[in-house]
Amino acid sequence: MAVSQTFLPGPTHEPAGALMEPRPCPRTLAEGFLEEELRLNAELRQLQFPEPVGVIYNPVDYAWELHHNYVTRYCQGPKEVLFLGMNPGPFGMAQTGVKAWLPLVPFGEVNVVRDWLGIGGSVRTPPQEHPKRPVLGLECTQSEVSGARFWGLFRSLCGQPQVFFRSCFVHNLCPLLFLAPSGKNLTPAELPAKPREQLLAICDVSLCRQVQLLGARLVVGVGRLAEQRARRALAGLSPEVQVEGLLHPSPRNPQANKGWEAAARERLQELGLLPLLTDECLARSSTP
């Protein structure tokens, strides 16, 4: 049986039907970015996924308030660099909507989102919640290792989140979390070929729009799959966008368990990004 997304009743954010109507130009970068996310959300709503998918979480829907707060706080001006994750994990962005890892904040590890990023907001229960993967929002006590490693590095380098976000942003290519009937997390690579390519093709187009909105000149894919998709999606973009890769911090990655932070620092040095991640240049711009 094919599985599609189920959305919570009530217009907790803009109704999907309104997304297709002509609208005035967004007043801010954050508004434009959020509008593009809602447009992507509306397109993904039409897809169906066969086995092994049992449940789909969409944190942009049920954690909209928290995610909205993340974007409006940290996406106020153009970004030179976009760190790109693939999709939410069950203990990261899926809990917080922030890529921290929390489904709405990329790589949204709860402690990082709440205590370092200073992001708050309500997180509702998804309309279809797997009993083994409850969504507790900022009350989640399960640490997300990838997010703790990822944001822990930048906390160490930057000191304050404003230093990181003055020139960088973090986002997921795909906003959806896929679970098997057993509750096992399914990555996009584990989805059946046809719906996977439909999903990623839609996300690729949205990524192009998001990169153009941000004005990013460098996209760093966190993990091989995110890097590969970014290269494919952005290949024909003008002006040209450089795409590079960063080792994924997941504990499922044996290389990451051999000293991810040291390897990541070395890679950031190779890419010439360390000067952007210290407070030496903070006086150049105070816009997060």
Q: How confident is the model at residue 24 (pLDDT cuts 50, 70, 90)?
A: low
Name the most confidently modeled range: 12-16, 32-36, 184-188: 32-36
Strand 168-172 with 81-85, pairing:
parallel
Q: Span 264-283, mean pLDDT?
A: 85
Rounded (10°) angle between helices 224-234 and 193-214: 70
For the cut 70, the answer to whether the pLDDT of residue 216 exceeds it is: yes
| Distance from the Cα of residue 174 to its chain's centroid | 7
Determine the 3-state secondary structure of 22 from DSSP: coil
For the cut 50, the answer to whether the pLDDT of residue 16 exceeds it is: no
**Per residue in 74-108, pLDDT tens?**
999 999 999 999 998 764 444 444 443 344 567 76
**Residue 128: both structure tokens together:** 């279809």
Share of the chain above pLDDT 70, in %: 83
**Per residue in 134-170, pLDDT tens?**
888 777 767 778 888 999 999 999 999 999 999 999 9
pTM of the model: 0.86
Measure the CA–CA gap between 107 and 98, rounded to whole angstroms.
7
Of residues 287 and 175, more confidently modeled = 175
Question: Are the CB atoms for 65 and 34 separated by under 8 Å?
Answer: no
For the cut 60, the answer to whether the pLDDT of residue 121 exceeds it is: yes
Measure the CA–CA gap between 86 and 89, rounded to whole angstroms.
9
Burial level of 255, CB count in 10 A (0-12/13-18/19+)? Answer: exposed
Measure the CA–CA gap between 124 and 61, rounded to whole angstroms.
9
Rounded (10°) angle between helices 29-44 and 193-214: 170
